[in-house]
Chains A and B, each alone.
Chain A
């Protein structure tokens, strides 16, 4: 794997440990910047430094604890300046330089408090049929931008008149659609705060991406997981984001650069919130609580199951393959004898790919997976996972910090 850049993608439902893998890469390789290429502030990538400092990275790159490592929010990100300021406050308190190492693409979509309010209102009204939203409005932003070509973007914060106009549009449209948002901060106040955001962060144009990739090796940090992908996940229990390597590859292609594709899996399968999870085991959920993933108010419960090789194999396939794997939580697997591999379901060892964009097919898969029964065999280890997914393991993780990681020869 001699490619200059690395793309890190979660092959499960999120929460596999992308943050700690990105942190390790930034500590052990000469990384210039971490590039975010999907999702938004709903990312929650936990990194623990060897000195005990802990931060849940949301919009800043998970390499930020490492000296000099920058963060670039690409045009594929949904940027939330309000939550960014909250995250920055915590990072700054930990002594991490923030604004001076952050660049934001002017074309990235902007999340607003109205999107967030609409997201929460909609999810509340779904009652028992929740999609597992994180409640920060990323899906609302994506949906709004599809219906409105002039949806607010980061560059708009430099144009006061336009900013107010598009904010008014967001506020009115969402209020009308939902019959009020229960949220009434004036447009002017939000606009003012967003203009301050524009004065503080470095907003860059489309030419910057290539410059950044030329300046030094970059790590592309994915958010969520491939099994939650908007097109390839179990519709409708998906995230409104392309979680495969695709966006990163687009950015790399534009710059004429190449990358190794690193897929991250936990040694057991987890899922936050509702949706199919074939290997879920209530005993494991009770036995393996997660330090950082507790039941979210908007997202629902944190669920644990056996290593679902079938679903992860499907993830590798929809990604077009991976160059290597990073396997996390091997320490937990080693001390949990009840954990099993799931090499197949009773119906077969493979989930067949549909046509790209065929959400009716994805919905059919969802229905099938809700009733699928796992066949359990063997104990998850790095070797067993490499064999099941037919990819070499590059990195093993045996604990929360970078020092707990091992490179496999």
Chain B
């Protein structure tokens, strides 16, 4: 019955798919999808968890949410190509124990079809798959606001992370964007996008305060975006997040910036040590990262 050949088919098929997975980043979006992928749908997510396990007994939750509208559309593509570098630093250099990464995307709930996409916390290359499923909205209205407050609401109320729950260590949330949040979390948008019923609007300052109980929240404003260096937008985020606002001259350095920020936050390195590590792993981002983080480092 030729079962030998069939079983070979199964293994060859698996190999074929594995060979393809590395190369087909953003297959979902590039194939024309314009609705949120089921795996990234906040309505279906309910709770995103970062859990300790036998393999990863001391998990560190790290979430990266980026604006996918307008000029920010290339951010996830850059992230995807730099992902191996980020893991290299986090794991091999011991910046954080058992890092678990989650990716998400932020759009505009007032006009976009896909205002919020949230992946899972993953400790292996499955996070790569989540990146590949993000719909790159691309549009964006240029009204200087995106629904960051909606994303922060999701992170505050729909994630559960063991590093905080079991060990009292806050996780890390990086928001990469170039605009401001809306002043309030809208109950109608929360109902439509996430599925919760809210008795009334929540001020963005309040949801940030709630979020900061379990996460260190950073805002990264990269160069080459619409409002890079914009005083109003920088000022807005500094009022919300204090010194945790990072101006980055080169988007290509975003993974190194995240890695070093985590390393500094975990007190695993000093900034000089971190920059030395970047040189050692052959990253040319040291200068840019050093400049970006010099304002962030707690003295």
Contact = CB atoms under 8 A, between A and B. Distances in A.
Tell me if chain B binds chain A. Answer: yes
Interface of A: 32-33, 70, 81-86, 88-89, 99-103, 106, 113, 116-117, 120-121, 155, 158, 182-185, 189-190, 192-193, 196-197, 199-205, 207-208, 211-212, 215
A178 B117 CA distance: 46
Contacts of B14: 85, 189, 192-193, 196
A402 to B, nearest CB: 24
A203 B13 contact: no
B13 A200 contact: no
A85 B17 CA distance: 7
A138 to B, nearest CB: 16
A199 B1 contact: no
B51 interface: no
Given A99-B24, A117-B1, A86 B33 contact: no
B161 to A, nearest CB: 22
A207 B35 contact: yes
Given A86-B12, A193-B17, A196-B14, A202 B27 contact: yes
Contacts of A155: 38
A199 B17 contact: yes
Nearest to A121: B1
A188 to B, nearest CB: 11
B1 A208 contact: no
Nearest to B18: A196
Interface string B17-48: 11011001001101111110111000000000
Given A81-B13, A99-B27, A193-B17, A202 B33 contact: yes
B15 to A, nearest CB: 8
18 contacts: A81-B13, A85-B13, A85-B17, A86-B13, A100-B27, A103-B31, A121-B1, A185-B7, A189-B7, A190-B10, A192-B14, A193-B11, A197-B17, A199-B129, A201-B27, A202-B133, A205-B37, A211-B33
A197 B11 CA distance: 12
Contacts of A211: 32-35
B35 A113 contact: no
Contacts of A81: 13, 17
A116 B27 CA distance: 29
A204 B37 contact: yes
Nearest to B24: A99
A204 B39 CA distance: 10
B264 to A, nearest CB: 33
A103 B33 contact: yes
B278 to A, nearest CB: 30
Contact of A106 (B21, B38, B133): B38
Nearest to B7: A185
B39 A158 contact: yes
Interface in B203-252: none
Contact of A113 (B9, B21, B24, B33): B9
Contacts of B34: 211, 215
Given A82-B10, A196-B17, A182 B31 contact: no
A152 to B, nearest CB: 14
B3 interface: yes
B24 A200 contact: yes
Most B Cβ at <10 Å: residue of A83, A106, A193: A193
B167 interface: no
A212 B27 contact: no
Contacts of B133: 202
Given A85-B13, A183-B1, A211-B33, 9 more contacts: A100-B27, A113-B10, A158-B38, A184-B7, A185-B10, A193-B13, A196-B13, A200-B24, A202-B27
B16 interface: yes
A295 B88 CA distance: 55
Contacts, number: 115
Nearest to B41: A205
B11 A189 contact: yes
Given A190-B10, A211-B33, A215-B32, A196 B21 contact: yes
A329 to B, nearest CB: 33
Nearest to B12: A85
Contacts of B13: 81-82, 84-86, 193, 196-197
Contacts of B9: 82-83, 86, 113
B61 to A, nearest CB: 22
A88 B9 CA distance: 13
A120 B2 CA distance: 11
Contacts of B31: 70, 100-103, 202
Contacts of A82: 9-10, 13
A193 B16 CA distance: 9
A166 B34 CA distance: 31
Contact of B24 (A70, A100, A190): A100
Contacts of B39: 158
A203 B16 CA distance: 17
Q: Name the 6 nearest CB pairs between A and B, nearest first.
A: A193-B14, A196-B17, A85-B13, A85-B16, A185-B7, A200-B17
A200 to B, nearest CB: 4
Of B6, B11, B17, B27, the most chain A CB neighbours within 10 A belong to: B17
Nearest to A158: B39
Interface string B244-267: 000000000000000000000000
B17 A117 contact: no
Contacts of A84: 13
Contact of B16 (A32, A89, A185): A89
Contacts of A184: 3, 7
Contacts of B12: 85-86
B243 to A, nearest CB: 39
A98 to B, nearest CB: 8
Interface in B156-186: none
Contacts of B35: 204-205, 207-208, 211
Contacts of A158: 38-39
Given A81-B13, A99-B20, A113-B10, A202 B28 contact: yes
Contacts of A83: 9
Highest count of chain A CB atoms <10 Å: which of B7, B9, B10, B27:
B10
Contacts of B6: 113, 116-117, 183, 185
Contacts of B126: 199
A246 B75 CA distance: 44
